[in-house]
Amino acid sequence: MTHVRIIARLDIKGPNLIKGVHLEGLRVVGDPHQHALRYYEEGADELLFIDIVASLYQRNNLSDIIKRAADRVYVPITVGGGLRSLDDVSRMMHSGADKVAINTAAIARPELISEVARRYGSQCMVLGIEAKRVAPGRWEAYTDNGRERTGQDVVEWARRGVALGAGEILLTSVDQEGTRKGFDFPLVQQVCDAVNVPVTASGGFGRAEDLAAIAATGVSGIAIADALHWKRMTLAEIKSHAAAAGLDVRPAAHVQVRP
């Protein structure tokens, strides 16, 4: 059986939890802290917080949100968006993050991957990749929340990032993100085949049937936002479908949040 982590993804803009389609057309969902607590109570294996405008404004404003969450939940927390230096990473780690996801700054200065891995360990250094299809079987890495082209081939960049010290990859399909049409399975398969570190697939989860198909690629994690935010499925339902499909998932036992 393939062990797969079910991860609740929370994209943040200012004080709000938001959701879009193709990382655009953003709608306010609500208070990120309350949603994070609900997902933890429902059995999320990890929480993923992304400040989606941080790279645009060259800063990450999630410290307070992370501190509040880390004080009340007991699953790993990954933080991404606008992290450009070891000082930025240190601030997030001291706020309670277990891992950091870096995309734009890693493209601009790949040495940052090695610096973070050396100081905090490869398990803390998650390479964020925003992928857009440019031809059949080919994808380009984008930055700045899917706005800017880099000219980097996604699969080649994934290999290089791991060689530099990344211990995990967060792979977001911009084409599928928010569409509910399923993951970009060929994209995920190629990246999983290319690297020997855990890969988390994000973007496109729509139906229970998507779980078995994406697990067959060899992913380690599945990041879900839309289905949770709009209550199309609970984490218990998602994990039940995953287990029925033959995936090894942690049971979604109810947990108590510390007051």
Q: What is the mean pLDDT of each run of 10 residues along the chain (259 residues)?
A: 89 85 70 94 95 68 91 95 94 96 96 98 98 96 90 98 98 90 95 98 90 90 92 92 88 61
Q: Quick one: how far is CA 175 from the chain centroid? A: 15
How many residues are there in the chain?
Answer: 259
Q: How far apart are CA 198 and CA 255, in angstroms?
A: 26
At how many degrees (to 10) do helices 32-42 and 63-70 cross?
30
Q: What is the pLDDT of residue 258?
A: 53
- Which residues form the catalytic set? 11, 130
Mutual orientation of helices 111-120 and 154-164 as an angle, nearest 10°? Answer: 40
